[in-house]
């Protein structure tokens, strides 16, 4: 059995891994884990990732969780072009810096914006108080400002002149609130131009393909009662 | 001007960077930034790091934030022994996996434990509801269990037979909880034995030195009102 990637393209980090593997022609078996059906809790999947999260990688007997670790593993094992994770000391450090920062910053804002604005109402029938949503969107805005001022600056991509895994991780995050109707790029021309560059570097077709499921999230039917209760408990923190 | 490290040993990620640099004989100027005096809000420091956080590395004109990025930069630039961040594909992936997971898991739990159990009530004079503290401690328990079951298992260290960056980042987090008065190693012989190994690998003297501040934080006098006002918003944001 070759490389297996356990993904749900509704999840931002899964999209980053999917795009990276496809773009670099890395052969893999796609194992879809439907989060909205609770498939991450199946006995089979727990063997692959006891953290019960996607993405997860299985390469023979070797299993790996955490999208950042998976992206770095793939880039090394399949010797992806240097620009994805540069060998250069300072360029590489800039990528590491972004990948570390984003966990508790952009990632958090984008997940919360998505759940509070779209998935909570659509899937769970939950409306968060307007002040909560306003506060989340304000935080998203601050993180977008940091993205522009600290990372992008006057560069073509987040960490320099070429696309890296940092850009992939960032763009897949930003598409989350975009699909929820947040005008992330409309009011930020610098970011909009960066987005065009990233899409062009990735390839339009692959970018669309990776985001197809997400762009249809607003048309998802509400979950049945049992699933609703289960998910509500799991995403409690994201609704605040 | 050679390498400068802007640190406050009150902070877990600063301790990891400090121990790593000292252990590996990396020459640096220590620039102390006292968080409890609000020194991270000074104009000079904001110039260096607009995110107003520690640790920060300055190497000539190159400035770097994020402890994980700093640790990786130091391993590469100073060509530290392989075991810290092994070349072996799978061992390295294990380290990356831990370093990614910890941001929103153990790190978050240990930070909240320190503030909910000790710093908010004692330093800030802001009582914390019993249910909030109980919830935080329960989450910490969850992370400790994952630490044993997923990351450590039956190995000597997280990535295998030798200490790596993952162990260093983890131990400095756990000492945060210890500084708050949580006996995280009691009733967890596996973790306690791992801690002994990590201390021995780092060196008892260096380990004590790095942890002097956090182990005395419970004796901090209460913050004066000016400081309290200055620090509260950022602390609440940090531990949300």
- Asked if A63 and A13 count as a contact pair (C-beta separation under 8 A), the reply is no
Q: Which domain holds residue A115?
A: 89-239
Q: B72 in contact with A at a CB cutoff of 8 Å?
A: yes
Q: How many degrees, rounded to 5, is the angle at CA B29 between CA B28 and CA B30?
A: 110
Domain boundary among A43, A63, A80: A80
Q: Specify the pTM.
A: 0.97
Give the Cα separation of A133 and A139 in Å (integer): 10
Give the Cα separation of B16 and B74 in Å (integer): 12
Taking CA atoms, A14 is separated from A97, B222, B239, in Å, by: 20, 46, 27
Q: Classify the complex by whether its ipTM is higher than 0.90, answering yes or no.
A: yes
Same domain for A111 and A197?
Answer: yes
Beta bridge partners of A62: A59
Chain A's closest residue to B97, CA to CA, is A69
Reply yes or no on whether the pLDDT at A240 is more than 90. Answer: no
Mean pLDDT (chain A, rounded): 95
Q: Which of A69, A70, A135 to mutate to test the interface with B (most CBs of B within 10 A)?
A: A69
Same domain for A109 and A201?
Answer: yes
Check A68 against B100: CB less than 8 A apart: yes
20-49 in B: which are within 8 Å (CB) of A?
A: none
Same domain for A47 and A153?
Answer: no
102-121 in B: which are within 8 Å (CB) of A?
A: 103-104, 108
Same domain for A118 and A189?
Answer: yes
CATH number of the domain where residue A71 is located = 3.40.30.10
Q: What is the pLDDT of residues A182-211, one digit of tens each?
A: 999 998 999 999 999 999 999 999 999 999
pLDDT of residue A187: 86
Reply yes or no on whether the pLDDT at A143 is more than 90. Answer: yes
Contact list in A for residue B100 (CB cut-off 8 A) is 66-69, 99, 103
- Please give chain B's pLDDT, 240 residues, in tens: 799 999 999 999 999 999 999 999 999 999 999 999 999 999 999 999 999 999 999 999 999 999 999 999 999 999 999 999 999 999 999 999 999 999 999 999 999 999 999 999 999 999 999 999 999 999 999 999 999 999 999 999 999 999 999 999 999 999 999 999 999 999 999 999 999 999 999 999 999 999 999 999 999 999 999 999 999 999 998 888
Domain boundary among A52, A80, A108: A80
Chain A's closest residue to B70, CA to CA, is A93
Reply yes or no on whether the pLDDT at A232 is more than 90. Answer: no
pLDDT of residue A75: 98
Residue B13, C-beta contacts closer than 8 angstroms, at least 6 positions apart: B54, B55, B67, B107, B169, B172
**According to the 3-state scheme, what is the secondary structure of chain A?**
CCEEEEECCCCHHHHHHHHHHHHCCCCCEEEECCHHHCHHHCHHHHHHCCCCCCCEEEECCEEEECHHHHHHHHHHHCCCCHHHCCCCHHHHHHHHHHHHHHCCCHHHHHHHHHHHHHHHHHHHCCCCCHHHHHHHHHHHHHHHHHHHHHHHCCCCECCECCCCHHHHHHHHHHHHHHHCCCCCCCCCHHHHHHHHHHHHHHCHHHHHHHHHHHHCHHHCCCCCHHHHHHHHHHCHHHHC
Report residue B56 as tokens.
């920060």
Contact list in B for residue A51 (CB cut-off 8 A) is 101, 146, 150
Same domain for A72 and A96?
Answer: no
How far does the CA of residue B89 sit from the closest CA of chain A (Å)?
A: 7
Check A93 against B64: CB less than 8 A apart: yes
Residue A18, C-beta contacts closer than 8 angstroms, at least 6 positions apart: A5, A7, A9, A30, A210
Same domain for A110 and A63?
Answer: no
Same domain for A111 and A218?
Answer: yes
Same domain for A174 and A216?
Answer: yes
How far does the CA of residue A219 sit from the closest CA of chain B (Å)?
A: 30
- Asked if B4 and B31 count as a contact pair (C-beta separation under 8 A), the reply is yes
- Asked if B231 and B223 count as a contact pair (C-beta separation under 8 A), the reply is yes
Domain boundary among A80, A110, A142: A80
Reply yes or no on whether the pLDDT at A149 is more than 90. Answer: yes
Check B66 against A101: CB less than 8 A apart: yes
Pairing state between β A29-32 and A62-65: unpaired
Confidence tier at A236 by pLDDT (50, 70, 90)? confident
Check A50 against B149: CB less than 8 A apart: yes
How far does the CA of residue A102 sit from the closest CA of chain B (Å)?
A: 10
Same domain for A159 and A230?
Answer: yes
Q: What is the pLDDT of residues A83-119, one digit of tens each?
A: 999 999 999 999 999 999 999 999 999 999 999 999 9
CATH number of the domain where residue A164 is located = 1.20.1050.10
pLDDT of residue B240: 82
Q: What is the pLDDT of residues B130-186, one digit of tens each?
A: 999 999 999 999 999 999 999 999 999 999 999 999 999 999 999 999 999 999 999
Count of CB pairs separated by less than 8 Å, A with B = 78
Q: What is the pLDDT of residues B92-102, one digit of tens each?
A: 999 999 999 99
How far does the CA of residue A64 sit from the closest CA of chain B (Å)?
A: 7
pLDDT of residue A123: 92
Same domain for A142 and A52?
Answer: no
* Domains: count for chain A: 2
Give the Cα separation of B207 and B196 in Å (integer): 11
Sign of CA dihedral A145, A147, A150, A154: negative
How far does the CA of residue B60 sit from the closest CA of chain A (Å)?
A: 12
Residue range A156-171: average pLDDT? 97
pLDDT of residue A234: 84
Same domain for A54 and A111?
Answer: no
Same domain for A99 and A51?
Answer: no
Percent of chain A surpassing pLDDT 90: 90
What are the CB-based long-range contacts (under 8 Å, 24+) for B190-195?
B190/B148, B190/B152, B191/B144, B191/B147, B191/B148, B191/B152, B194/B152, B194/B156, B194/B157, B194/B167, B195/B171
Q: B78 in contact with A at a CB cutoff of 8 Å?
A: no
């Amino acid at each position: 059995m070759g490389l297996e990637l356990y993904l749900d393209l509704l999840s931002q980090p899964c999209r980053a891994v999917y795009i990276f593997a496809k773009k670099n022609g890395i052969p893999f078996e796609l194992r879809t884990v439907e989060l909205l059906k609770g498939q991450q809790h199946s006995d089979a999947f727990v063997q692959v990732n006891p953290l019960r999260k996607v993405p997860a990688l299985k390469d023979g007997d070797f299993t790996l969780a955490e999208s950042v670790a998976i992206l770095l593993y793939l880039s090394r094992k399949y010797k992806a072009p240097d620009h994805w994770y540069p060998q250069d000391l300072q360029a590489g450090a800039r990528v590491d810096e972004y990948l570390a920062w984003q966990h508790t910053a952009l990632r958090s804002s984008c997940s919360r914006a998505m759940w509070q604005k779209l998935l909570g109402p659509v899937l769970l029938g939950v409306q968060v108080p307007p002040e909560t949503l306003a506060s989340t969107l304000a935080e998203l805005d601050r993180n977008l400002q940091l993205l522009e001022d600290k990372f992008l600056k006057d560069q073509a991509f987040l960490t320099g002149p070429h696309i890296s895994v940092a850009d992939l991780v960032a763009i897949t995050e930003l598409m989350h609130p975009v699909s929820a109707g947040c005008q992330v790029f409309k009011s930020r021309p610098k970011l909009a131009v960066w987005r065009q560059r990233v899409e062009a570097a990735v390839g339009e077709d692959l970018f669309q393909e990776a985001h197809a499921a997400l762009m249809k999230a607003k048309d998802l039917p509400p979950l049945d009662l049992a699933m609703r209760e289960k998910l509500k408990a799991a995403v409690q923190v994201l609704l605040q | 001007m050679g390498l400068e490290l802007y640190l406050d040993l009150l902070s877990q990620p600063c301790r990891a960077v400090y121990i790593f640099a000292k252990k590996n004989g990396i020459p640096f100027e220590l620039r102390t930034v006292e968080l409890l005096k609000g020194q991270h809000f000074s104009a000079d420091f904001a110039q260096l790091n607009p995110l107003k956080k520690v640790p920060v590395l300055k190497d000539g004109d190159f400035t770097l934030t994020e402890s994980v990025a700093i640790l990786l930069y130091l391993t590469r630039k100073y060509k530290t022994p392989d075991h810290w961040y092994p070349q072996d594909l799978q061992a390295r992936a294990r380290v990356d996996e831990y370093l990614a997971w910890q941001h929103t898991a153990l790190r978050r739990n240990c930070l909240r434990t320190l503030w909910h159990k000790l710093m908010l009530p004692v330093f800030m004079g802001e009582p914390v509801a019993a249910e909030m503290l109980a919830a935080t401690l329960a989450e910490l328990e969850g992370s400790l269990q994952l630490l044993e079951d997923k990351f450590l298992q039956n190995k000597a260290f997280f990535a295998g037979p030798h200490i790596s960056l993952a162990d260093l980042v983890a131990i400095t987090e756990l000492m945060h909880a210890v500084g708050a008065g949580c006996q995280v190693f009691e009733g967890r012989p596996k973790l306690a034995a791992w801690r002994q190994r990590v201390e021995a690998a780092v060196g008892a003297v260096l380990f004590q030195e790095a942890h002097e501040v956090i182990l005395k934080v419970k004796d901090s006098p209460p913050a004066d009102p000016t400081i309290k006002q200055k620090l509260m918003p950022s602390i609440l944001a940090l531990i949300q």
